């Protein structure tokens, strides 16, 4: 790619292909693959990512909210889409766009059944609309309890409007070897409740509970389908696994202007940096409105310019930030890389005790997206 002459996010589809091939190499043939493309495809571009994954052979997509599924449908993506956190106010949108809701409580199940039974006319009622039952096995975020299964089966037996497409759960600490006992307990619980659910339903829905780390660390829990989010975008929650993955996104910008700051002079709002010696300061057209947290200010974070670290001076502004280029061979118009393959989002996020997820999903939609194949 030519050097950046504005703030942009490069989306490397070859990196995505690599990550998909690596993750799917961990699963048995015939196991379905659900790609998680919520949060604009983890901060990249959900439509671009989804279209590439369709070409690669993905079976299912998952989004957080119905509006995210609607965006995919608007881009002519026809693959099944699971909505992980629907709300009753969105039921009409879900059905109109052929999205598949995660149902996680008796209240949600009752309301969705009532909605589907009231949809259409007497000659054209909804039948067997696909739903996904979410079970809580230890994350304690969303999900049915195991003792809800009898009530679930009773409610489903009274209607033809919906049918269970899958039953699933979510592992809380699959990346942490110190929590292996807890994770195995979650898997055991999911297996047990799945068997009871299948017995009560009289048919077998798809079963899935592994995220990226679960796919890698717990092959015995792959069941009928696996889900991957962060791994597709280049992070495996493990240094060794990261060697096999490639970051999809590279956030870069250019040096707008270089200043010479004399001893005692300051840089930025509230005089956040005061020079103790003659300093070269470069201003970049990227700030917290673009997704760079203010906590990276005052030399906590950095960018890379011509292979060298340039630490952030003072406080980050809404649309700009200043970095120390003293001793760095650079000039106005040169490229600055915030994160990518050389300095990863995971490495940078660690400087503020955060994680790659937060940094990459926080990239503002005003940042230009550019597709490439490196």
What tens digit of pLDDT does each residue of 208-255 get? 999 999 999 999 999 999 999 999 999 998 888 999 999 999 999 999
Of 222, 227, 224, nearest to 212 by C-alpha is: 227
Cα–Cα distances in angstroms (integers) from residue 319 to residues 181, 274, 289, 315, 354, in the given order:
46, 21, 6, 12, 22
Reported residue count of the chain is: 374
Map residue 293 onto helix, strand or coil. Answer: coil
CA-to-CA distance for 320 and 20, rounded, in angstroms?
A: 35
Domain ranges of the chain: 31-233, 249-372
At 137, the pLDDT band (50, 70, 90 cuts) reads very high
Strands ordered across the beta sheet of 335-339: 257-261, 279-284, 321-324, 308-313, 302-305, 335-339, 249-254, 8-12, 368-372
pLDDT, residue 321, reads 98
Share of the chain above pLDDT 90, in %: 95
Q: Given this model, what pLDDT does residue 238 score? A: 85
**Mean pLDDT throughout 155-183?**
97
pLDDT in tens, 44-93: 999 999 999 999 999 999 999 999 999 999 999 999 999 999 999 999 99
The CATH superfamily holding the domain 249-372 is Lyase, Ornithine Decarboxylase; Chain A, domain 1 (2.40.37.10)
Residue 124's contacts (CB-CB under 8 Å, 6 or more residues apart) are none
pLDDT, position 122: 61
Catalytic site positions: 38, 269
Q: How far is CA 28 from CA 23, 220, 233, 244, 259, in A?
A: 11, 11, 22, 19, 57
- Nearby residues of 114 by Cβ (< 8 Å), 6 or more positions away: none
Element (H, E) at 92: helix 91-96
Q: Is the pLDDT of residue 121 over 80?
A: no
Q: Give the pLDDT of residue 237.
A: 81
- Alpha helix stretches (DSSP H) within 320-367: 345-350, 356-361
Mean pLDDT of the chain: 97
SS3 of residue 24 by DSSP: helix
What CATH number does the domain located at 31-233 have?
3.20.20.10
Closest CA to 282 of 228, 320, 230: 320
């Amino acid at each position: 790619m030519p050097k950046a002459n504005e703030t942009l996010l490069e989306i490397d589809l070859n990196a995505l292909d690599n990550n998909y091939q690596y993750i799917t190499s961990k699963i048995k043939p015939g196991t379905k693959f659900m790609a998680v493309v919520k949060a604009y495809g983890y901060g990249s571009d959900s439509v671009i990512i989804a279209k590439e994954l369709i070409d690669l052979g993905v079976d299912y997509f998952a989004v957080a909210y119905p509006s995210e599924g609607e965006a995919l449908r608007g881009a002519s993506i026809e693959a099944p889409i699971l909505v992980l956190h629907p709300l009753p106010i969105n039921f009409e949108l879900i059905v109109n766009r052929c999205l598949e809701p995660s149902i996680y409580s008796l209240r949600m199940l009752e309301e969705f059944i009532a909605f589907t039974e009231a949809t259409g006319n007497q000659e054209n009622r909804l039948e067997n609309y696909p739903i996904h039952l979410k079970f809580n096995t230890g994350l304690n975020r969303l999900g049915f309890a195991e003792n809800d299964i009898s009530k679930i089966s009773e409610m489903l037996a009274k209607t033809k409007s919906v049918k269970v497409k899958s039953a699933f759960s979510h592992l809380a600490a699959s990346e942490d070897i110190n929590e292996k006992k807890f994770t195995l307990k979650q898997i055991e619980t999911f297996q047990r409740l799945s068997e009871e659910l299948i017995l009560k339903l009289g048919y077998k829905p798809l079963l899935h509970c592994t995220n990226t780390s679960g796919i890698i660390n717990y092959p015995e829990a792959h069941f009928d389908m696996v889900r991957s989010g962060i791994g597709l975008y280049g992070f495996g929650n493990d240094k060794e696994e990261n060697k096999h993955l490639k970051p999809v996104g590279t956030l870069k910008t250019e040096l707008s202007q270089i200043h010479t700051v004399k001893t005692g002079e300051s840089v930025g709002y509230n005089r956040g940096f005061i020079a103790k010696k003659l300093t070269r300061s470069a201003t970049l057209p990227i700030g917290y409105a673009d997704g760079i947290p203010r906590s990276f200010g005052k030399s906590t974070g950095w960018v890379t310019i011509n292979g060298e670290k340039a630490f952030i001076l003072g406080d980050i502004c809404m649309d700009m930030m200043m970095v120390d280029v003293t001793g760095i061979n650079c000039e106005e118009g040169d490229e600055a890389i915030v994160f990518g393959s050389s300095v990863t989002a995971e490495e940078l996020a660690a400087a503020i005790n955060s994680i790659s997820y937060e940094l990459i999903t926080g990239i503002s939609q005003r940042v230009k997206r550019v597709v490439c194949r490196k």
